[in-house]
């Protein structure tokens, strides 16, 4: 429940955090920030010195062009310097910092009781072994390797092994379909795929190898270059006793299942068999700071995924630095990011950022509601998690079950909470703050994108007074601006397009093999700026509020409205569990609001409720925002990473059955139900 005054209030960092904090006050942040944008060469140059460089950089630290009217867009940080990111994450921590015995990951399986851990030196050894395996399979610097694995340690090992030998990894989320995997394999032209037999997500068995095989068949029909497939035996792991990574727990459901992975002897190889014969020493490939590190696909507005490309040096220092400051990383921390490694958050803040800092993390295979809705809090208590990073969609899901499952656990180890992925509505923010963090933990609402590589707008836990729902201020090196439709920079209180004015080290360098599309999507609309595609408001205190994707903006009778704002108003009603609002054509107003709502248990969808909701939005935002249509939704169509697919909801509102590709949805079945219960829009 959001009370009047809750949102206007500033939530200040608690004094306990200050003594050890990297940035203990707002003026301290402002000083560092000023230096980072005025003297980026010196600021990032000092940070780069903490890393190992085989060859130090000489010449300009940063070269770039952000203006399409002046020629090709390019960004180069420290070009000419050579390093290896895997060496910096592992060898440097083991050999120079003596962190060999420190736990790198506590792995928690889908079933409670199925767990293990791996130290930095064990991880280094396995990565070296697998890097040797890759080399023995003919993988070289610059080659692409697709990785289609669940949340298991082999996923991290495989990524770092690629990085060690200078090959590019393209991780494909293990919830994606065969079609999506095939599309990504074809686009990056990889020669090798790494997958697993099968895994459980909650109580659902996913036969991953079967799906991978189907993808490979589809690829072959399209003349693809894929030659080999390495398969991790995950469900039968205990029998093979991979040293150091097998759990010593009693027989588990995972192990009792007799899953026969389909096998093609011409291309399939078992991971454990290859590892058995591999040497534990592996000389890293020394790469230029601007050599390619990985490709990660993200959805594009056309429906075709875009292969975002990140490079070695800039990404390394940006992921490491943002992790350190945004979570105020301390050596004794146990950090847990719930994102899947198939998304950028899992790359930057589960793999590269934490390991670069020598941190101990939790890697969780399962889902928040299995075997019950207290699972997250039980894991926090089990590992004494201090920093916890999750998504608003997970918070809203758990909110539905009330406070009792949270309060069953102590959570007293928690110090900092984080969110990412979408705007967090104030009600969810306040629940996270009050119930989960017991008003003790600051919330870092981190705004960023696959393309930005790391955090762009975010509070720092001990420095920034927070406002629920605002991502607050720019991170170091980030210069935001708000532009009007005509490209004019708006000062002070304003709302418009969020852009960035100068490069930060973690910015993507191109779309893999599609540089022209890269320029068009991100740099053409407003020459001289990187365009995020998000709308943003700056309030009188200079706080930034993301209002949602620009394509989620709508214009009602000449007034610009953000669907996120209306959703937030709906969510404040006690009956509403989730809300999604889309724009709908209207003969008089141009566009109007069509809302989908899911209800909390114990509430019914009645005419009375619809009237109350309309009134609520009218009161919260103004008569202009009064919804024309409110439809009951048993659930909402979402991508597997939990993002509501408003593109599809717009089509449902219009009764347009031409939906395009829906294979990336978590539950395509809901769509038919929503079409059948549409509001009558012909009145
Ligand atoms: C949205 C995820 C509001 C935004 C790291 C962005 C957010 C898109 C936030 C990128 C936030 C992410 N507040 N909106 N804290 N974080 N977004 O590429 O629309 O999966 O453009 O990267 O998510 O999603 P992506």
List the domains of the chain with CATH numbers. Answer: 553-676 (3.30.300.30)
Residue 397 and residue 302: Cα distance in Å, rounded?
29
Secondary structure (DSSP) of 1-39: -PPTTTTTS-BPPPGGGTTT-SS-SHHHHHHHHHHHHHS
Site to probe by mutation for ligand 1, drawn from 418, 455, 480, 546 as the one with most ligand atoms within 8 Å of Cβ, is 546
Site to probe by mutation for ligand 1, drawn from 448, 563, 639 as the one with most ligand atoms within 8 Å of Cβ, is 448
pLDDT attached to residue 300: 59
Interval between CA 422 and ligand 1 midpoint (Å) = 5
Q: Peptide bond before 371: cis, by omega within 30 degrees of 0?
A: yes
Atom of ligand 1 nearest to the CA of 549: 19
pLDDT attached to residue 303: 47
Phi, psi (degrees; rounded to nearest 5) at 568: -60, -40
pLDDT attached to residue 285: 98
Atom 14 of ligand 1, nearest CA residue: 422
Q: Give 447's DSSP letter.
A: B
Distance of CA 269 to the CA centre of its chain: 31
Look at strands 590-599 and 629-632 and give their pairing.
parallel
pLDDT attached to residue 647: 86
pLDDT attached to residue 630: 97
Cβ-based neighbour number of residue 351 at 10 Å: 25
Atom 6 of ligand 1, nearest CA residue: 449
Interval between CA 497 and ligand 1 midpoint (Å) = 14
* 8 Å CB contact between 159 and 169: yes
Reading the block at residue 562, the tokens are 């953000």
Reading the block at residue 546, the tokens are 């993301």
Residue 327 and residue 335: Cα distance in Å, rounded?
9
Interval between CA 228 and ligand 1 midpoint (Å) = 35
Residue 406 and residue 398: Cα distance in Å, rounded?
9
500 lines ligand 1 (CB under 6 A): no
471 lines ligand 1 (CB under 6 A): yes
Residue 221 CA: distances (Å) to CA of 117, 209, 214, 217, 661: 41, 18, 11, 6, 20
H/E element, 201: strand 199-201
pLDDT attached to residue 560: 56
Interval between CA 532 and ligand 1 midpoint (Å) = 10
Reading the block at residue 610, the tokens are 């619809």
Per-residue 3-state assignment (H helix, E strand, C coil) for 587-629: CCCEEEEEEEEEECCCCCCCHHHHHHHHHHHHHHCCHHHCCCE
- In 3-state terms the chain splits into helix, strand, coil percentages (rounded to 5) of 35, 25, 45
Reading the block at residue 628, the tokens are 């024309």
Beta strands in 378-440 (DSSP E): 387-390, 416-420
Taking only Cα atoms into account, the Rg of the chain, rounded to an integer number of angstroms, comes to 24
Interval between CA 544 and ligand 1 midpoint (Å) = 14
- Low-confidence residues in the chain, pLDDT < 70: 1-8, 238-259, 300-304, 551-553, 555, 558-561, 683
Site to probe by mutation for ligand 1, drawn from 173, 299, 349, 449 as the one with most ligand atoms within 8 Å of Cβ, is 449
Residue 351 and residue 552: Cα distance in Å, rounded?
31
Cβ-based neighbour number of residue 213 at 10 Å: 20
Site to probe by mutation for ligand 1, drawn from 305, 447, 469, 568 as the one with most ligand atoms within 8 Å of Cβ, is 447
Atom 13 of ligand 1, nearest CA residue: 423
393 lines ligand 1 (CB under 6 A): no
Interval between CA 447 and ligand 1 midpoint (Å) = 6
173 lines ligand 1 (CB under 6 A): no
* 8 Å CB contact between 578 and 572: no
pLDDT attached to residue 241: 39
Q: Give 491's DSSP letter.
A: P
Atom 22 of ligand 1, nearest CA residue: 449
Helices (H), 452-586: 515-523, 563-571
The pTM score is 0.86
532 lines ligand 1 (CB under 6 A): yes
Residue 680 and residue 585: Cα distance in Å, rounded?
13
Cross-strand bridge partners of residue 658: none
* 8 Å CB contact between 229 and 212: yes
Q: Given CA atoms 375, 381, 384, 390 in this order, what sign does their dihedral have?
A: positive
640 lines ligand 1 (CB under 6 A): no
Residue 446 and residue 337: Cα distance in Å, rounded?
13
pLDDT attached to residue 301: 52
Instruction: Report the length, in residues, of the chain.
Output: 683
Q: Give 488's DSSP letter.
A: P
422 lines ligand 1 (CB under 6 A): yes
pLDDT attached to residue 641: 79
Atom of ligand 1 nearest to the CA of 450: 18
Cβ-based neighbour number of residue 449 at 10 Å: 17
């Amino acid at each position: 429940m959001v009370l009047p005054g809750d949102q206007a209030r500033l939530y200040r960092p608690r004094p306990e955090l200050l003594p050890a904090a990297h940035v203990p006050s707002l003026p301290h942040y402002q000083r560092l920030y000023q230096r980072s944008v005025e003297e980026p060469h010196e600021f990032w140059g000092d940070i780069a010195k903490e890393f190992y460089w085989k060859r130090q950089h000489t010449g300009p630290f940063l070269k770039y062009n952000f203006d399409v009217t002046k020629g090709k867009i390019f960004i180069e940080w420290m070009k000419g310097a050579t390093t290896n990111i895997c060496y910096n994450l592992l060898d440097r921590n083991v050999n120079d910092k003596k962190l060999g015995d420190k736990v790198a990951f506590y792995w928690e399986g889908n079933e409670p009781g199925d767990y293990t851990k791996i130290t930095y030196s064990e991880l280094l050894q396995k990565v070296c072994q697998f890097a040797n395996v890759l080399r023995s399979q003919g993988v070289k610097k610059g080659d692409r390797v697709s990785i289609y694995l669940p949340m298991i340690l082999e996923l991290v090992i495989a990524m770092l092994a690629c990085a060690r030998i200078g090959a590019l990894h393209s991780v494909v989320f293990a919830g994606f379909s065969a079609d999506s995997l095939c599309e990504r394999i074809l686009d990056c032209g990889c020669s090798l795929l790494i997958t697993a037999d099968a895994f459980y997500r909650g109580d659902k068995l996913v036969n991953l190898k079967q799906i991978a095989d189907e993808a490979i068949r589809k690829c072959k029909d399209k003349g693809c270059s894929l030659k080999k497939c390495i398969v991790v035996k995950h469900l039968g792991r205990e029998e093979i006793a991979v040293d150091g990574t097998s759990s010593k727990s009693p027989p588990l459901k995972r192990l009792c299942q007799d899953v026969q992975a389909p096998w093609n002897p011409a291309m399939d190889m078992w991971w454990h068999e290859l590892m058995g014969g591999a040497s534990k020493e592996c000389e890293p490939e020394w790469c230029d700071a601007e050599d390619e590190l990985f490709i990660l696909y993200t959805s594009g507005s056309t429906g075709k995924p875009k292969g975002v490309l990140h490079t070695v040096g800039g990404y390394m220092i940006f992921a490491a630095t943002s992790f350190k400051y945004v979570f105020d990383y301390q050596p004794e921390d146990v950090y847990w990011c719930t994102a899947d490694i198939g998304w950028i958050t899992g790359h930057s803040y589960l793999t590269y950022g934490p390991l670069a800092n020598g941190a101990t993390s939790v890697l969780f295979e399962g889902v928040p509601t299995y075997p019950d809705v207290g699972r997250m809090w039980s894991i926090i208590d089990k590992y004494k998690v201090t920093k916890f990073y999750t998504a608003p969609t997970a918070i809203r899901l758990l909110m539905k079950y009330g406070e009792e499952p949270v309060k069953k656990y102590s959570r007293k180890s928690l110090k900092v909470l984080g969110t990412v992925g979408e705007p967090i509505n104030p009600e969810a923010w306040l629940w996270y703050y009050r119930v989960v963090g017991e008003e003790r933990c600051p919330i870092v609402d981190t705004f960023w994108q696959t393309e930005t590589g790391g955090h762009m707008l975010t509070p720092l836990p001990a420095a920034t007074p927070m406002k629920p729902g605002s991502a607050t201020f720019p991170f170091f090196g980030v210069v935001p601006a708000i532009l009007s439709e005509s490209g004019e920079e708006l000062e002070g209180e304003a709302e418009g397009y969020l852009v960035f004015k100068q490069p930060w080290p973690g910015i993507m360098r191109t779309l893999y093999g599609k540089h022209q599309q890269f320029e068009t999507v991100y740099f053409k609309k407003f020459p001289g700026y990187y365009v995020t595609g998000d709308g943003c408001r700056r309030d009188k205190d200079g706080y930034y509020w993301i209002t949602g994707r620009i394509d989620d903006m709508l214009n009602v009778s000449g007034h610009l409205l953000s669907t996120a704002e209306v959703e937030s108003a709906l969510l404040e009603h006690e009956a509403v569990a989730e809300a999604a609002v889309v724009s709908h054509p209207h003969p008089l107003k141009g566009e109007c609001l069509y809302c989908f709502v899911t209800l909390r248990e114990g509430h019914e969808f009645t005419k009375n409720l619809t009237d109350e909701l309309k009134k609520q939005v009218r009161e919260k935002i103004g008569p202009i925002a009064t919804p024309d249509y409110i439809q009951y939704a048993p659930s909402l169509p979402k991508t597997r990473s939990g993002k509501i697919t408003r593109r599809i909801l717009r089509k449902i509102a219009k009764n347009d059955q031409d939906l395009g590709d829906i294979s990336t949805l978590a539950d395509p079945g809901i769509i038919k139900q929503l079409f059948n219960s549409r509001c009558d829009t012909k009145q």
